[in-house]
Amino acid sequence: MEVGFIQFAPKFGNSEYNTQKVLHLLGTDRADIIVLPELFTTGYLFKNREELERLSENVNYSVTISKFKELSKEKNTIFIGGFPEKSGDNIYNSQFLVDGDKILIYRKNHLFYEEKKLFEKGNSNLPIYNNGIVKIGLMICFDWIFPEMMRSLALAGADIICHSANLVMPYCQDAMITRAIENRIYIITANRVGKDERGGKSYQFTGRSQIVAPGGDIILSTGKDNETFLKIDIDPKKSRDKNINNSNNLFKDRRTDIYKL
């Protein structure tokens, strides 16, 4: 199975440019699963709720999702990426998974910093998609810092965690090595690059998108500034072997009598 990520610098508020940039980086290539950054359609730094509302999309009428449904069918690819989702009076920092006509939406459970002033807290249960071949767990950016999130997805049977991100702190890429070791799971982190500088505020994004294997090895990575599409062949069945050695199994050895996870 080929899996990959696209890393680039979105232009704020220009969803048409951002979608075309993804198409340009992808070109004639494909993979079975491709992960895009958090809020890749709009950029990250919204000045206020009104601006966010103007740029958010309802799933049922989303031009972005319609485009990626077409692309998914054309390339036989599962696409996963972040966008601001409007649902009634609420707006969520959301992630779509598109597999042909099938759609799964995950709403970010752990909001970072001033996101709390703009978005509603996610109300999603365990976001896992099963296409009969692989089970995909969904996460968005700051979700990474809560080990309970990834452990819960792993316990629910996820083979691959697809992590759309707009990382500004320097810790996540290294921490994902530990997450992959302690859960024996593949993790695809698609981060963005560049800077959002608006309304007297500024965020510099860290890039370094990567794929980590169940043993903790970084098997694919890129730099902190480049815009690229990269992919690699993996065997998701390796995520289903939770044995560390002949005597220890990560899940069977858990002491659920003394802790919950």
Q: How far apart are CA 76 and CA 67, in angstroms?
A: 14
Q: How far apart are CA 232 and CA 252, in angstroms?
A: 30
- Annotated catalytic residue, options 21, 69, 108, 231: 108
Q: How far apart are CA 177 and CA 185, in angstroms?
A: 10
Closest CA to 62 of 38, 86, 97: 86
Paired tokens of 152: 């819960």
Residue 18: its pLDDT value, please? 98
Q: How far apart are CA 256 and CA 158, in angstroms?
A: 20
The verdict on whether 141 is a catalytic residue reads: yes
Closest CA to 139 of 158, 155, 120: 158
- Annotated catalytic residue, options 38, 57, 85, 115: 38
- Which amino acid type is present at position 250? L
Residue 94: its pLDDT value, please? 98
Residues 6+ apart with CB under 8 A from 189: 5, 35, 144, 163, 165, 167, 172, 173, 176, 209, 210, 211, 212
Residues 6+ apart with CB under 8 A from 173: 167, 189, 206, 208, 210, 221
Q: How far apart are CA 121 and CA 137, in angstroms?
A: 19
Q: How far apart are CA 244 and CA 178, in angstroms?
A: 14
Residue 261: its pLDDT value, please? 85
Q: How far apart are CA 173 and CA 154, in angstroms?
A: 19
Residue 2: its pLDDT value, please? 98
Match 């903790």 to its residue by tokens.
Answer: 216
User: In which element (H, E) is residue 212 found?
Assistant: strand 210-212
2-240 CATH:
3.60.110.10
Task: Give residue limits of the domains in the chain.
Answer: 2-240
One digit per residue, pLDDT tens: the chain, 261 residues?
A: 999 999 999 999 999 999 999 999 999 999 999 999 999 999 999 999 999 999 999 999 999 999 999 999 999 999 999 999 999 999 999 999 999 999 999 999 999 999 999 999 999 888 999 999 999 999 999 999 999 999 999 999 999 999 999 999 999 999 999 999 999 999 999 999 999 999 999 999 999 999 999 999 999 999 999 999 999 999 999 999 999 999 999 999 999 999 988
In DSSP terms, 114 is beta-bridged to: none
Q: How far apart are CA 193 and CA 168, in angstroms?
A: 10
User: In which element (H, E) is residue 176 found?
Assistant: helix 172-183
8 Å CB contact between 34 and 26: yes
Q: Residue 89: count other Cβ atoms within 10 Å of its Cβ.
A: 7
Q: How far apart are CA 176 and CA 239, in angstroms?
A: 15
- Annotated catalytic residue, options 21, 86, 135, 141: 141
